[in-house]
Amino acid sequence: HSKFAAQRFAHEAAPALTSFANSSPAPFIAGIRAARERIVARKEDDRETFLRRRGFSKGETGKVIEMVLSEEGRPPESVFDFVQGITALARTKTNQETRLELEGKAKKLLESAS
């Protein structure tokens, strides 16, 4: 590593870090609120259809629903519930690529709610 690598990194990262520090969490919070309020499935068939239409296999769909049941104590209804289930399922995966793929699907779903 070069003698000035740390200084160069600090200089190059400063604008991004400043922007991040000054940014408002309001859009993120609004997105979470919208995802919690948006009810997309009330029945078991609705839950399965909702996930299957978004590219989840039958096995993954069952596991996501099971994750929500075990963590929340109730079946998923809102977009936020499904996002929570997907990220919980991702945490059980040992393969990083699989985790990232599931997290990407969760992110896309969360963004679709806002």
Percent of the chain topping pLDDT 90: 73
* 41 part of a folded domain: yes
* 23 part of a folded domain: no
* 74 part of a folded domain: yes
pLDDT at 114 over 80: no
* 55 part of a folded domain: yes
Does residue 48 contact residue 66 with C-beta atoms inside 8 Å?
A: no
The pLDDT value given to residue 24: 86
User: Residue 111 — very low, low, confident or very high, per pLDDT cuts 50/70/90?
Assistant: very high
* 88 part of a folded domain: yes
The pLDDT value given to residue 6: 85
The pLDDT value given to residue 45: 95
**List of long-range contacts for 20-28, beta carbons under 8 Å, 24+ apart:** 27/114
- Total domain count for the chain? 1
33/17 Cα distance (integer angstroms): 26
pLDDT at 58 over 80: yes
The pLDDT value given to residue 4: 83
* 20 part of a folded domain: no
101/95 Cα distance (integer angstroms): 10
Q: Which two tokens stand for residue 63?
A: 């596991």
Quote the domain boundaries for residue 85: 30-113
* 8 part of a folded domain: no
Which residue, among 79, 89, 81, has the nearest Cα to 109 in the 3D structure?
A: 79
User: What residues contact 85, with CB distance under 8 A and at least 6 apart?
Assistant: 64, 65, 67, 68, 71, 76
106/26 Cα distance (integer angstroms): 20
pLDDT at 11 over 90: no
Does residue 56 contact residue 105 with C-beta atoms inside 8 Å?
A: yes
DSSP label at residue 55: T
User: Residue 2 — very low, low, confident or very high, per pLDDT cuts 50/70/90?
Assistant: confident
Decide which of 28 and 80 is more confident. 80
* 6 part of a folded domain: no
